[in-house]
Structure 1
């Protein structure tokens, strides 16, 4: 059985003006009013954009509404802002959980694995990683022989996960972190074949990264 509990960080260290929105957002979240919570977390972020925990809580509120793409972006933003492996692992775990809920087992497994690399003691991540691997094996058995001509097929419709990864990579490109953006897309491609829809972007990023490395 999959353990689908997500990490929630509801304590906030904010300026007075943002704290009011943050407290109200937490209350809305705890009361199940996730749309209102999202609105209030976004308002708090406008006033306190460097507070990583706000992005984490925003991701949870978005996930509860089924906003997969937006939630992944929020968790990735949190991951980029925090320093400790344990906090980075929390973001990876929540992304994995969100994807597992949608039965996106391959990218889910990738993020559970990342969580374990960052925090090997996380038992739920270990359990879910094993479950995701089992589901991948089962799906591969069912689909054996169906994807032999995949490379000759047109690019697939990108999943919400693929879109979220591309938007994160685009943000890295804006920051001129070309190699990091390319590596992110390569990792996403291993986890989700629909990332192939962005092959042109990946190739451009690769070319610029190579120039950047050789300059």
Structure 2
């Protein structure tokens, strides 16, 4: 019988050009000293910011400590710097699994689907995507046909996923990539309703994007 979810495989990516900090971080991780490993990976990234593999290892270290928002942010950095679809798929898979562990089924399904688009041969991602869809269906059945008028409700408390997506959007805004930031937040909103907590931010970047396009 298949496991209900195939959870995150916290392996390290090694580079041919590994700094002393990265080697020490790898050793600390393998010994279970995750706090020390996190600080060493951050030091290694500061010394070699273009070494995208360090972000993947940093994300795994943060995931081990239950730092979901920070781990998602690190995996997103890894994805943005990685070049191969397989590497990008690994980031999407890890984000999806973190969200599945937290029972955030809709955004988890989104990221498993992204992983499959990048690497259709990934059977674990396919398995987890199908399971996430089942969980979403079960939640919708539990809710029944009750309709809620979201416009008359106060904004929800943003999830760790929502906060991580906003942090990524803010980085794009700092680069004056307003349309990309807006598109990112729209995709995040489709995956996670708590992103509505940042509606004012989304509206601002939409307005700026429209001004720049005129």
TM over 0.5: yes
CA shift for structure 1 position 208? 1.3
Partner Cα separation in structure 1 for residue 183 and residue 173 of structure 2: 12
- Where does structure 1 lack aligned partners over 5 or more consecutive residues? none
**Aligned pair count?**
211
Which residue pairs with 1:8 in the alignment? 11
User: Which deviations, in whole Å up to 9, do the C-alpha atoms of 1:139-195 show, x marking residues without a partner?
Assistant: 111112444222210100100100000000000010111111111000000010000
The CA RMSD over aligned residues, in Å, is 1.2
TM-score (normalizing by structure 2): 0.95
User: Which deviations, in whole Å up to 9, do the C-alpha atoms of 1:16-41 show, x marking residues without a partner?
Assistant: xxx11111111111122111111110
Which residue pairs with 1:161 in the alignment? 161
TM-score (normalizing by structure 1): 0.94
Asked if structure 2 preserves the Cα contact closer than 8 Å seen for 1:6 and 1:97, the reply is: no
Matches within 5 A, 1:119-138: 119-138=119-138
Partner Cα separation in structure 1 for residue 9 and residue 97 of structure 2: 7
Indicate yes or no: 2:178 matched with 1:172.
no
Indicate yes or no: 2:103 matched with 1:100.
no
Asked if structure 2 preserves the Cα contact closer than 8 Å seen for 1:14 and 1:48, the reply is: no
Which residue pairs with 2:91 in the alignment? 91
